[in-house]
């Protein structure tokens, strides 16, 4: 079977589930269709390094969820908060919490970029993609013990960097 035929079969197998997850998260059919297309493009670009067997579907679904979250965040970044003063106090407090959380996330992501590549990747897969250690180990072609060690080192280094930069 050719690489293109194999890829087409894989896309047919997973595209409905990708659409369903995207639609559930985005609540917009046109955006969900865009996500399916974006996922297909990403999968084609990384077709040589995709996980095999049972690890493929969770990997694709995590990619889908993350892409949807990025799209949702982009929607909120386009919103102007100029009339916050007109909101009830509880709404303003909720908005303040949202802004603070967004700033904390940006700071953490900036700190993660300072970590060694393997530590940054394992931390991203664990914390942001919510993958289990076993899944991460299979994806990175390493042992679960190594994943735990990388996570420990990454968290320790992240804390050191945050303290050094006065974030915590």
CATH number at residue 121: 1.10.10.10
Helix axes 89-112 and 144-164, enclosed angle (nearest 10): 110
Q: pLDDT band at 82, cuts 50/70/90?
A: very low
Answer yes or no: do 56 and 108 share one domain. Answer: no
What is the tally of structural domains in the chain?
2
Neighbours of 92 (CB within 10 A): 14
b/e sequence 44-71, b meaning 16+ C-beta within 10 Å: eeeeeebbeeebeebbbbbbbbebbeeb
Answer yes or no: do 75 and 93 share one domain. Answer: no
Q: Report phi then psi at 69, rounded to 5.
A: -60, -40
CA distance 125 to 75: 24
Query: Who has greater pLDDT, 129 or 68?
Result: 68
Q: What is the pTM of this model?
A: 0.45
Segment 32-41 shows an average pLDDT of: 90
The 10s digit of each residue's pLDDT in 111-166 is 888 999 999 889 888 877 778 899 889 888 999 999 999 999 999 998 888 888 87
pLDDT attached to residue 76: 66
């Amino acid at each position: 079977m050719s690489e293109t035929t194999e890829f087409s079969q894989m896309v047919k197998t997973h595209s409905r589930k990708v659409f369903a997850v995207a639609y559930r998260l985005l609540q917009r059919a046109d955006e969900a269709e865009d996500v399916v297309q974006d996922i297909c493009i990403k999968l084609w670009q990384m077709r040589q390094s995709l996980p095999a067997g049972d690890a493929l579907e969770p990997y694709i679904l995590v990619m889908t969820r993350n892409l949807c979250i990025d799209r949702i965040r982009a929607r909120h970044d386009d919103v102007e908060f100029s009339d916050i003063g007109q909101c009830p106090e509880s709404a303003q407090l909720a908005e303040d919490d949202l802004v603070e959380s967004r700033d904390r996330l940006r700071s953490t992501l900036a700190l993660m970029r300072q970590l060694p590549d393997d530590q940054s990747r394992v931390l991203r897969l664990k914390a942001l993609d919510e993958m289990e250690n076993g899944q991460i180990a299979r994806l990175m072609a390493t042992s679960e013990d190594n994943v735990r060690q990388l996570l420990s080192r990454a968290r320790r280094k992240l804390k050191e960097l945050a303290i050094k930069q006065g974030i915590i």
